[in-house]
Amino acid sequence: MVEYKDTIITWNLEDIDLSELIMVIGSFIFSGNKINDVDTEVIEKMQDLIEIEYKRRLTGIAEDDTIH
């Protein structure tokens, strides 16, 4: 029989995009964890990425675009 051990998987929050972060958090919760188990740092990163996406949708301009 296969034995499963607790494994900690880490992600580089500096390089992750919103889609990946949503998938990671969703998978974490789907595997039986609760939203309270998600680190505050991860929630803060998600908030930052959501704000960037929200601004992009409002203006149609990505944060890293240059306006001439």
Residue 66 lies in a domain: no
Answer whether residue 47 is part of any domain: yes
Q: In order along the chain (68 residues), what is the average pLDDT of each group of 10 residues?
A: 61 90 94 94 96 94 73
**What angle, rounded to 10 degrees, do the helices at 18-30 and 40-59 form?**
140
Q: How many domains are contained in the chain?
A: 1
CA angle in degrees (0–180, nearest 5) for 64-54-28: 100
Amino acid 25: pLDDT: 95
pTM of whole model > 0.95?
no
Q: Cα(49)–Cα(18) distance, rounded to whole angstroms?
A: 6
In a domain, 19, yes or no: no
The answer as to whether 40 is a domain residue is yes
pLDDT at 23: 95
- Tell me whether residue 25 is in a domain: no
Domain that holds residue 43: 36-61
Write down the pLDDT at residue 32.
94
**Do the domain assignments include residue 42?**
yes
CA nearest to 11, candidates 52, 34, 39, 33: 39
